[in-house]
Amino acid sequence: MNVFLRELSAYRKSTIIWCASLSAILIVFMALYPAFTSDVAATKQVLGQFPEALRTALNISLSDFFTIYGFYGYLLNFAILAGAIQAMNLGTGIISKEVAGKTADFLLSKPMTRGRVVSAKLAAAFTIIVITNVVFCGVSYLAALMVATETFAIGTLLLLASTMFLVQLVFLALGALFAVLIPKIKSVIAVSMPAVFTLYIVGTLGDVLGNDKVRYMSPFKFYDTAYIIKNVGLEGKFIALEAAIIIVAIAASYVIYIKKDVRASA
């Protein structure tokens, strides 16, 4: 419990900043909704003149874009990109900080198994992600409530919002795995940013090229907004894929962390 609480308190400030930033993205974007929907026909015409490839790259679907779900789903792309960075930073940082900060000698010479150290850290990271998403869902709902011109189903909106949580979990697990695989991490950002953006670009390229298989390669494409809006549900095979990735990454993180030699820092 002590390591868990220690990590929560160490990440308190950064969690507050992330929650505030994600809320700001939501509020600013949602505030634009009335402007886009005041004259749907005109806006549709402007967007319709964009080349189709550009629309796909920007994730704009003319049929959904002007509904509250569609508009929210659109901005969600960017929020999720930011959320992925938060989650990957967290996963990489929380596991690698003892080695990077040379505090491994202190922590790992305490009477605690390494397995329990990892569990406490991952539990803290998971808690932080849950807190972030509770705030994110709450702000999403409130923002939608303010700008929506017609009634909307809270279930659909929250299901859309929950994809943030699911994508963050994948990146949290990947972050933990990277933290144990890379011997000396000097800067967490230098690890997480390239990983997140590579996967994001892979996903976007897949969209532009119309290649459906790419969806399996980028967590950003696991949960398709159009599908969720239409079916009010998530695609089972991608939930299974996500679960598999998380289990493998976390299991490998445990094994490597437990076996690793902690060499003298000098």
Partner 1 sequence: MNVIETTKLTKYYGKSRGIIDVDMTVAEGEIYGFIGPNGAGKSTTIRTLLGLIHPTSGSATIFGKDVTASGPEIRQEVGYLPSEVFYYDDMRVIDLLRYSASFYRKDRTAIEARIKSLAELFDLDLKKKIDDLSYGNKKKVGIIQGLAHEPKLIILDEPTGGLDPLIQQQFFHLLKEENAKGATILFSSHILSEVQKLCDRVAIIKDGSIIKVEQIKTLLENSTKRFKLELVETPVASAFAVDGVSDLAITNHSVSFLYRGRVNEITKMLAEQDLVDFLVEEPDLEEIFMHYYKKEDEQ
- List residues binding partner 1 (CB under 8 A): 2, 6, 10, 101-106, 108-113, 259, 261-266
The smaller minimum CB distance to partner 1, of residues 76 and 120, is found at 120
Nearer to partner 1, 68 or 120 (CB): 120
CB of 116 to partner 1, least distance (A): 8
Q: Are 25 and 75 in contact (CB under 8 A)?
A: yes
Structure tokens at 155: 């279930």
Q: Which is nearer to partner 1, 38 or 113 (CB)?
A: 113
Nearer to partner 1, 44 or 260 (CB): 260
The whole-angstrom separation of Cα 157 and Cα 146 is 14
CB of 120 to partner 1, least distance (A): 11
| Structural contact between residues 165 and 237, judged by C-beta atoms closer than 8 angstroms | no
Least distance in angstroms from the C-beta of 184 to partner 1: 14
Q: Closest separation between CB of residue 7 and partner 1, Å?
A: 11
| Residue 259 beta carbon to partner 1: minimum distance, rounded to whole angstroms | 7
Of 116 and 230, the one with the shorter C-beta distance to partner 1 is 116
Q: State in angstroms the smallest separation of the CB of 22 from partner 1.
A: 23
| Contact assessment for residue 75 and residue 29, using Cβ atoms and an 8 Å cutoff | yes
Extract the tokens encoding 212.
Answer: 């459906």
Strands (DSSP E) along the chain, which ranges? Answer: none
Tokens coding 118? 């990892």
Tell which residue, 85, 92, 97, has the closest CA to residue 181. 92
Strand stretches in 162-232, DSSP E: none
How far apart, in whole angstroms, are the C-alpha atoms of residue 205 and residue 219? 13
Q: Which of 78, 92, 76 is nearest to 140 (CA)?
A: 76
In terms of CB distance, is 12 or 230 closer to partner 1?
12
DSSP 8-state symbol, 50: S
Token look-up 């999403």 returns 140
